[in-house]
Amino acid sequence: EIASQPDCWRRAIALARDPDGPVREALPRAGERVAVVGCGTSWFIAQAYAALREAGGQGETDAFPASEMPTGRAYDRVLALSRSGTTTEVLDLLGRIRGGVRTTVITAVPGSPVTDLADEAVVLDFADERSVVQTRWATSELALLRAHLGHDVGGLVEDGGAALAAPLPDGLAEAGQFTFLGRGWTYGVAQEAALKMREAAGAWTEAYPVMEYRHGPISVTGPRSVVWWLGEGPSGLAEMEVTGPGGRLVGYGRDPLAELVLVQRLAVAIAVARGLDPDRPRNLTRSVIL
């Protein structure tokens, strides 16, 4: 599933760009006020989408965990993200939404319960997975959303191929703690990276908007810490601010979504080294129901 990501992204981008295809019609239009919701990974992808849509001037966009969407705010549309289409919080929320608000879901499973509750569904069945841990689903969905917003995904597929082929950065498997940093849309990617390492490898991970790192999180940085910048261009953090306490700053310089592939591969490598099954984290199921 990790290895198939560049192919899945190519398909997702083509779908988003097809002028006569269903995706263009189904996803939010410029000017709409949108709430985008999901749980776990899907919430992080929601945050990346919201940041991109706002930055692109395409309309007010708020991301919420499906369990936390405030009532009493006026939205034109709720966009719900759910690979399984069965997550309880998402179903509850869609069931509570009343007339006047258009509801759209993106899911991997045709005919899943979310599709009955929403006005329309975008189904990316080619990106579904057997692993409990989401990899290609999350990245394909974000590739589709980025392409739909007109965000530059020109080098994404090639960068994904390079991230699959690249050697893993040296010495990371021995790290005691990982902090992933992002900015704007890549803060969602950083949170997703942290979740992958947590779920698949049982690692201690954190994620912050890049400049927040200086305001407390730096206190836990030590010789066995890795700080991984998942943003575009330089982090804005002086190297000293990270390496001073002994931590190590990693940055790869490719599309941050492609760089997430490297984190996924590292998570698998650490899981295997620790004797864990990266596809079946403790206490987690493919879909969290009730």
Q: Which residues bind ligand F1P (CB under 6 A)?
A: 38-42, 82-84, 87, 90, 132-134, 199, 284, 286-288
Looking at beta carbons only, is 117 or 133 nearer to ligand F1P?
A: 133
Q: Is the dihedral of CA 12, 18, 22, 25 positive or negative?
A: positive
CA–CA distance, 169 with 246 (Å, rounded to integer): 17
Q: Where are the beta strands (DSSP E) in the chain?
A: 34-38, 61-65, 77-82, 102-107, 120-123, 177-182, 205-209, 225-229, 248-250
251's CB contacts (< 8 A; 6+ apart) are 228, 229, 235
- Closest residue (Cβ) to ligand F1P? 40
User: Which of helix, strand or coil describes residue 102?
Assistant: strand
Which helix (H) or strand (E) covers residue 44, if one does? helix 41-55
Looking at beta carbons only, is 46 or 149 nearer to ligand F1P?
A: 46
272 by Cβ neighbours in 10 Å (0-12 / 13-18 / 19+) ranks as middle
Min dist CB 285 to ligand F1P, Å, is 7
Min dist CB 214 to ligand F1P, Å, is 29
Looking at beta carbons only, is 138 or 227 nearer to ligand F1P?
A: 138
Looking at beta carbons only, is 58 or 112 nearer to ligand F1P?
A: 112
Min dist CB 211 to ligand F1P, Å, is 27
35 residue type, one letter: A
Min dist CB 193 to ligand F1P, Å, is 13
Looking at beta carbons only, is 42 or 58 nearer to ligand F1P?
A: 42
Looking at beta carbons only, is 158 or 277 nearer to ligand F1P?
A: 277
Which residues, in sequence order, are bridge partners of residue 106? 81, 122
Min dist CB 118 to ligand F1P, Å, is 13
Q: Is the dihedral of CA 104, 108, 112, 113 positive or negative?
A: negative
Min dist CB 138 to ligand F1P, Å, is 8
